[in-house]
Structures are given as C-alpha cells and as structure tokens.
Amino acid sequence: MSTSNESLQQWIDEVAALTRPDAIRWCDGSEKEYAGLIQQMLGSGELLELNRQRYPNCYLHRSDPSDVARVEHLTFVCTPEQQEAGPNNNWMHPQEARDQMRALFDGCMRGRTMYVVPYCMGPVDSPYSRCGVEITDSAYVVANMRLMTRMGKAALERIEREGGFVKGLHSIGELDPNRRFIMHFPQDLEIQSYGSGYGGNALLGKKCHALRIASYQARSEGWLAEHMLLVEIESPEGEKHYIAAAFPSACGKTNLAMLIPPAAYAGWKVRTIGDDIAWLHVDEAGQLRAINPESGYFGVVPGTSRKTNRNAYEMIQHDTIFTNVALTADQEPWWEGKGEGEPAYDWKGQPVTADRQEPAAHPNSRFTVAAKQNPAYSPLADDPAGVPLSAIIFGGRRREVAPLVYEAFDWNHGVLVGAGVASETTAAATGKVGVVRRDPMAMKPFCGYNFADYWGHWLSFPARARKLPKIFHVNWFRQDRDGNFLWPGFGDNLRVLRWIIDRCEGRVAARETAIGYLPAPADLDTSGLDIDATTLEALLSVDKAAWRKEISAIGEYFQEYGDRLPELLAAELERVASGLQD
Ligand code: OXD
Ligand code: MN
C-alpha cells in the first residue's frame, strides 16, 4: 500500500530508512486485521488469552515492570524558545531533541515490522476532528489504537483529502527507562516517542496528540483541547444537558462519565460521550460545543466493580485488552476492588501469597475497550456537530479546603478556579502518590505550551462566543480527621450535578461567598442519604483562614509565570483575596 499524500509517503520513506524495519505494514483498521494482530501476539507471548467462556475475546498484556505509567520527567515540549513551553513543561531545543531521538531510532526496527497507523481524532466527518499517523513497531500499540481511535482506511482518506496530519513516530526500543523519551514538536505537529509501550506514552493519539499537540494547535485556531469527560444528563421530564468535567488522572472521570443514577433518581438517564478528553469549539451561532476525539476508553481497572461503576464493569466482560491486572486460578482477570474472585498470579505473573504486601494488580493497571461496549454509550459521541455545553466542572482530590461544590462568579473567575486546581497525585504517573500538587485545569502533564499563555487563551473566550457555559468546582474527596469520606460519591454525585443544572437553568438560588456561589444545605438534595447536618455543613462551608492560605499558595504558584501571567487572572485572584479579608 502507499498513499497519494506526498508528505506522508516521504516521511514514511525517511523513517524506514532510519529505523530499518524488516517489513512495512499499512493498517486498514479492519476486524480481520485486528484478529490477525491478536493471534500474532498470542503466538509471541505478548498477550495471554483470558477465560474464553467468562471473558470472550479478552486478553492480558503484562508490560515490562519498569513501564507501567506515564513518565512526566521524560516528557518534553520542544520549542525554539524555552518560554513557549513554560515552567509547566520540561523543555529541550528542537534540534537537540531531534539529534538525540535520531540516535535512538537509528536501526531500532531491525528484525521488526513497522506499522503505519492512520487515525482520526473525532468523528471522521466532523469539521472539529483532526487526523494523525502513528508509525510504531508495536503490535500491542496498533491493537490499542484500533480500540481508542477511528483508525485505518477512512482516516487515511480524510488525510488524503485534507492534506494535514500530525506525525507520530514510536518505537518500544529496548524498554529501557534510561533510553526512554516522549518528545513533542508542537510547531511541526510532530511527536517522537521511544522506549515505552505504556498507553499515555505510546498510544500517540491520546495524550501526545489529542492534548499536548492539540492544545497548541487549538490556541492558534481558536479552540480548546482539554482533559475532560463529557456526559449527557436527561431528567425524567426529558430535559437534556451536556457537561464537561476536568479532573486529574485517576480521580474518577470514567466513573462520573458512566454514572448510574441512585435509586432516588429513577427516570434520570446519564449517558457517556467521553471519559478523558474533550475538544471545545465555538460554533457559528457562538455556542461552545464539544466532541470527544477518542472512540474507546483506556481506564484504570482497580476499584471497578458492579457497585462502583456497573457500566464499566459490564463493558469489560468481553472484547477487552487488560494490561497489568492479576489472574485468578481459572484465567479470569482480577484486581483490587473487583468484589469477587481471588488472585492466583500477580500482575508480574508471580504466584500470589496470602501474606503479600503489594497489590496483586498494578494500581495503574488498565482496560482498553471500544466505547460502544459501554451500556451508557451516547450515540452523540459520533455526532460530527458535537454537543452544546451547559456547564464546565473542575475538580481535584482534596482531603480538605475545597467544598463539595461551588460556582464561579463568571467566566473569568472560572478560569481562576480552573487555574487554581490542585490534587493529590495518583499512580497514573510515576512518582510519589498522595502529594498535593497544582494541576491547573487538570492539564499539568498535558498542556503543550506555557500555562500563562494557555490561561490567556481561556480568557479570550468571552470575546469569541455568544453563549458560554457556567463554570463550577467540585470535590468528591473531602475527609474527616479519621480519614472517612464525607460525601458518598459515585451515583450520588448526580445530586450535585442536579444542583449545577438547576443553576444553569436559573431554577435555584445560591449563597454568595468570597470563593463563589455555594448551595444552601437545603438546596442540595440529600433525601434518602445517611448524612447529618454537621457533615453537610462541613461539605458546604468556606473556611476563610484555610482559603486565605490556599489563595496565597495559588498566588505563589502564579509567580512562576512572571510577567506572562495575564493581568485579568491576577485581578481575579486579587478580587477573591480581598473578599476573604473581612
Ligand atoms: C489517562 C491519564 O490515562 O490521565 O487518562 O493518565
Ligand atoms: Mn487522563
């Protein structure tokens, strides 16, 4: 196979000359091709077949034990000026990065097949979608890309029609952490990734393209690429709302996107449009609309059970690739929090002992599954026009300070609320877990340019749009002194979404505080919940002293951005700080 797109053909020829694969294979995205790749990987031992009766077409991949998460310290944004990448990114000069990567890629595909994977992020017929081509030497990556993106023939046709595409070159190399780099060249719409097979480092359509490169591209084209789930909520009366929500990795985006209404909410319907990434565009009528660029989920497995996320639990019973979960004695996948079965082998394939200290499944073990398997899948995920947003929610994992929910005064204040997001770190990235760090808009690991310019871009939207969504902040993770969660979370989060929707519709009043609008306890529906008045008060109050500290910590963080910090954002911070003085 070849292509009529000259720049694509030339790039493939150059990469092949550099990496020297034994064979080049164009991927068409067909069922047959996927089945063939699976057979090949079963033969090579890259995949193990799971219990065929109970988990049909499900496979386990055990990664190299040193390759289980995103590697933020090895991820770079390569722009001519360091200031363009900003203090939020590791930076390398593009020429230095290219030289370094060239040496790594030199001859790295000898004895391997080079796969050419054209893909489209977003519905193939949507003006909001963008295409890319990933060249990789990993069959596991190709199979995952087929589940996660619209991959193959239709994407290539669009590339040939349109011309432009993002170039992504990937090799698993030697899987050596000392020879591992994820480089982004936003000005050239290009990615080079070497030495890792882990999703966020290797499925280049996801974090590398749909967030880092796309955020950069979005700035120059007037849209936003965000780390957000997209959910559709329908009331019993048939009123529909679409909400986008940004939470840091492993903070429950997938759970919220697939929420099952609690018993008291019979008649409410919640459908998933996306669970990780949203691209936001202003339409011709001035309305902010969103698409999910992905077509599958790469979700955290531990904690997924019939009780916590029945939709996810059901969708991963068949046609799923599991990575780094444990195994039961009869070849079923197992993980902490599954709520059934017993592990016999841990994620490394070692027999499990009764006195084990470590979890049997890796805390960042993952499922890869096509979105259409989700019982709550919304067909709107395929709508080229996307969905109009009613609300944008930011949130983090905070033991204290942040109340259950509050609403920003207006868009500009909402940008401050997003820029001030902080969260405890999780296993989705290598490094210490449970430390609070600033994670503006949940984009700390994913914004492809200087955060100060990114906030400036957010602040440009009132001038671009006629109708913007309201902005809120939530925190499902408040704890008491003994470490008990104050809010039940999961399905009951719909109660909070209902207040948010009522605010969007102007149906409910709110208490004005220095940090934004909060619900009066009586306005948050807690009927049928075992939650006392003191706990509710704690969830819905603003501790001024704690907030003064929080605002000064945000101010200190902003100082890292020096003169580039937008004045409007500094003014918003000042407004909140002065409200907290009295
Ligand atoms: C993810 C992440 O995999 O955010 O979605 O790490
Ligand atoms: Mn994510």
Ranges of the chain whose pLDDT falls below 70: 1
Q: What are phi and psi of 277, to 5 degrees?
A: -135, 140
251 is catalytic: yes
Cut 0.75: pTM above it: yes
Q: Give the closest residue (by CA) to ligand 1 atom 4.
A: 249
| CA angle (76, 78, 81) in 5-degree steps | 125
- pLDDT in the model for residue 400: 87
**Tokens representing residue 486 in the block:** 């104050």
List, as one string, the DSSP characters of 525-577: --TT----HHHHHHHT---HHHHHHHHHHHHHHHHTTGGGS-HHHHHHHHHHH
**Taking the CB of residue 297, how many other CB atoms lie within 10 A of it?**
27
The CATH code for residues 226-295+381-579 is 3.90.228.20
**Which ligand 1 atom minimizes the distance to the CA of 249?**
4
* Number of the ligand closest to the Cα of 277: 2
Nearest-ligand number for the alpha carbon of 425: 1
**Residues 6 or more apart in contact with residue 102 via CB below 8 angstroms:** 18
Atom 3 (ligand 1): residue with closest C-alpha?
200
Q: Residue 2 has what pLDDT?
A: 81
CB contact at 8 A, 449 and 79:
yes
How do residues 37-80 score in pLDDT, each as one tens digit? 999 999 999 999 999 999 999 999 999 999 999 999 999 999 99
Domain ranges of the chain: 6-46+74-222, 226-295+381-579
Pairing outcome for strands 23-26 and 113-121: parallel
Name the residue of 298, 301, 365 to mutate for ligand 1: max ligand atoms within 8 A of Cβ.
298
- CA 427 / ligand 1 centre spacing (Å): 10
Question: What local confidence, expressed as pLDDT, does residue 506 receive?
Answer: 98
> From atom 2 of ligand 1, which residue's Cα is the shortest distance away?
249
How far does the centroid of ligand 2 lie from the alpha carbon of residue 276, in Å? 5
Question: Other CB atoms closer than 10 Å to residue 538's CB: what's the count?
Answer: 17
Q: Which of 148, 249, 254, 430 to mutate to test the pocket of ligand 1 (most atoms within 8 A of CB)?
A: 249
- Closest ligand (CA of 429): 1
CA 145 to ligand 1 center in whole angstroms: 15
Q: Which pLDDT value is given to residue 436?
A: 85
Q: Which of the residues 120, 131, 208, 251 is marked catalytic?
A: 251
What is the rounded distance in angstroms from the CA atom of residue 182 to the CA atom of residue 199?
A: 12
CA neighbor of 77 nearest in space, from 424, 453, 456 = 453
Widest pairwise Cα distance in the chain: 72
CB 516 within 8 A of CB 475: no
DSSP state of 463: H
Q: Which atom of ligand 1 is found nearest the CA of 366?
A: 3
| Ligand 2 mean position, distance from CA 273 (Å) | 15
Burial of 80 from C-beta contacts in 10 A (0-12 / 13-18 / 19+): exposed
| DSSP annotation of 351 | B
Task: Return the pLDDT at 522.
Answer: 96
* CATH pick for 6-46+74-222 out of 3.30.1330.30, 3.40.50.2000, 3.40.449.10, 1.10.287.3510: 3.40.449.10
Q: Tell me how far the alpha carbon of residue 227 lies from the centroid of ligand 2, in angstroms.
A: 6
**211 Cα to the center of ligand 2, angstroms:** 10
What's the pLDDT at 427?
82
Residue 481 alpha carbon to ligand 2 centre in Å: 30
Q: Where are the alpha helices (DSSP H) in 318-444?
A: 411-419
* Number of the ligand closest to the Cα of 199: 1
The C-alpha atoms of residue 556 and residue 98 are separated, in whole angstroms, by 35
63, 71, 207, 323: residue to mutate for ligand 1 pocket, most atoms within 8 A of CB = 207
Residue appearing with tokens 């990987």: 41
Which residues have any ligand 1 atom within 6 Å of their CB? 70, 199-200, 249, 276, 298, 428
Ligand 1 nearest-atom number relative to CA 199: 3
CA-276 nearest atom, ligand 1: 5
